[in-house]
Structure formats: structure tokens, C-alpha cells
Amino acid sequence: MGYFLFIIFIVAIDLWSKKKAFKFLKEKNSPYKLGKGLQLRLALNSGGFYGLLKNKKGWIIILNLIALIGCILLLVLGFYIKDFTSYALGLSFIIGGGIGNLIDRIKRGYVIDFLYFKGGPVFNIADIFIFLGALILIYIEIF
């Protein structure tokens, strides 16, 4: 039950941060420098990672739903496995981030990205959780 509350927490933080960043960057104009190499930069991403499948909203939603359903099934079924805690944490990160981006995509037709490090893509809090969740799962499998 705790993991599902954690997923809700991740979704809430993600949606709140996107709302605040969108409003702030509309008022202050994008990009907004925070420090050396770090900016807030408004990007309305109608595609997937790195703009993959740009303007293919239906396909992206279907792929997101399939991935989320798979992760949710793994999370639910995994509770019957001993020592599943690390997997559950990684899956919770991925599910929370995935739901946050999916809500944006369904509601707006695009995902609000706003964090930018010099030389990299523009991303959001949901993307961070998805990335960290994937790293946790990869780490567990390797070690």
C-alpha cells in the first residue's frame, strides 16, 4: 500500500512542478538562468523521449499505457516475491513518472518540460523519476 501512496506523491509533485514552471516561465520568459549550465526552459513536448514520435499523440498514449500496465502488474505480482523491495521502489518511480507524463499528454496533448542542463535535453520531474527507476532496476539486475 505504501508504494501506491508513493506513486500518488510522485504524480502530485510532478503535476504541481509543471504547473508552477509553466506559469513562471510564461511570466518571466523562457529560458531563465538558475546557475552555471542550469536553466528553466519551457518546452512543450508533443513527442516522446527526445521528441520521438512527435505529433503521434495516439501512439504515444497507447505505448505509455502498455508500459504502465506492465509495470503495475510487475509491482502487484512482485509483492509475492521475497526481497522485492528494491524492485518495488524502481517500479514505483517509473509508474509515478509515467502517470505524471501521461496525464499531461492526455490533458494537453503535450508534456511540459522545463529543466535544462547545458548540452542536454529539456526534461521534467516525471522524467527524473522514470530515469532513476530505470537505473535502480538496471543496478539490481547487474549486481
Local confidence band at 95 (pLDDT 50, 70, 90 cut-offs): very high
For residue 101, what are the domain limits? Answer: 2-142
Active-site position among 14, 83, 104, 113: 113
DSSP calls for 39-52: EEEEEEE-SSGGGT
> What is the pLDDT, as a whole number, of residue 51?
66
The model's pLDDT over 64-78, given as tens digits with 9 standing for 90+, comes to 999 999 999 999 988
Residue 108: which of 50, 32, 44 has the closest Cα? Answer: 44
Sheet hosting strand 32-35, strand order edge to edge: 32-35, 38-45, 111-117, 122-123
* Digit-coded pLDDT (tens) for 24-64: 999 988 789 988 889 999 999 988 766 677 778 888 999 99
Q: Does 86 score more than 90 pLDDT?
A: no
Residue 113 catalytic? yes
CA torsion angle 20 23 24 29 (round to 10): 150
Q: Is residue 83 among the annotated active site residues?
A: no
Please state, for a pLDDT cut of 70, what percent of the chain lies above it.
98
Instruction: Tell me what percent of the residues of the chain surpass a pLDDT of 90.
Output: 71
Look at residue 98 and tell me whether its pLDDT is greater than 70: yes
d(CA 57, CA 95): 19
Question: How many domains does the chain contain in total?
Answer: 1
Average pLDDT over residues 2-13: 96
Q: Considering only CA atoms, which of 102, 117, 140 is closest in space to residue 10?
A: 102
- Cell readout for 11 is 504524480
